[in-house]
Amino acid sequence: MAQKIIIDTDPGIDDAMAIAYAIAHPDIELLALTTIFGNVRTHEATRNALALLDHWGSDADVAEGEAQPFAMPANEPSYLVHGLNGFGGVEIPLSKREKHSLGAVDYIIDASKRHPGEIVLCAVGPATNIARLLERDPEIVSRLKGVVIMGGAVHCKGNVTPMAEANFWNDPHAADMVLAAAWPLVLAPLDCTMPVLFTPDFMQALAKESPAMGRPLADMAEFYARFYRSHLGLGGCVPHDVMAISWLTVPGAFRLQKGALGVLTDGPAIGQTIFQPGGTRSRTSAFEGRPDHLVMVDTDPSLFMADYMMVMTRYAC
């Protein structure tokens, strides 16, 4: 039976890579995309989500989410990284479909009641919708099969400040609330995303093997890779958001560590992920009452990339 998932997303080039994988994978049933600000503004994320689904033949719903962070002013979108349209200037035809009548939070609540214990929520943008979900319906923790969050930097440096990863930096209050909740949560931080590089050769091979999905993704990746080359000296781009989906399908590609998590919500280190390994204690009270979660702390790049290519090639068959 295919795994039912909802992706909470701010598309975004690496979001598009993750959405394509979810559509293509035979063991995934994509119920919906719920949208959030981050790489683009929320209304732009909704536009992009609808466009991608239509372009790739998916009838999954799109429900629009929050437009502002949980408890602070919004940062500017990441247009420098993803381009003004979120897709590095690559034009995906606009959808004629409308967004769902329910907002993102109500949509997830409704879906979890229709499919109790069956849905994994994969959040690959700022965690604002997920925090609002906990605020509105605390019992959601027992109705979701699992939650996978792409965000944070546990044992490595951040990517928007020396301490903070972009999703957690964009709404640290929401991220901290989500990590404090007692639900089956797996964190996919920069620790597991930065070891993987989609090189130009890999993306061109993807375009050849799976033209419908691979060609637009390869075109987007050219813009994305220019950012990584100019700012980090890397010869390709990092597919951060794919990890949150791949955890469900190829968990053997990741090394895990268990422990309690939090996020700093003020000061110069705002957005920093803090971590206390399971079975250890410290003199700080920051982790008191917090559950242990699984953290993806490393990735086997060869296995991850082989799986991605295989799944995407299957879509072309």
> How many whole angstroms separate alpha carbon 47 and alpha carbon 125?
16
Active-site residue identified among 171, 240, 241, 307: 240
55 tagged catalytic? no
240 tagged catalytic? yes
Mark out the alpha helices in the chain (DSSP H runs).
13-24, 42-55, 79-82, 104-114, 128-136, 140-143, 166-170, 172-180, 190-193, 200-209, 211-232, 242-249, 301-316
CA dihedral 274→278→281→282, nearest 10 degrees, is -10
Active-site residue identified among 10, 61, 191, 307: 10
Q: For the chain, what is the total number of helices (H) and then of strands (E)?
A: 13, 9
Q: What is the largest CA-CA distance in the chain?
A: 57
For residue 24, give both structure tokens: 């293509």
> How many whole angstroms separate alpha carbon 156 and alpha carbon 271?
13
Residues assigned a catalytic role: 10, 240
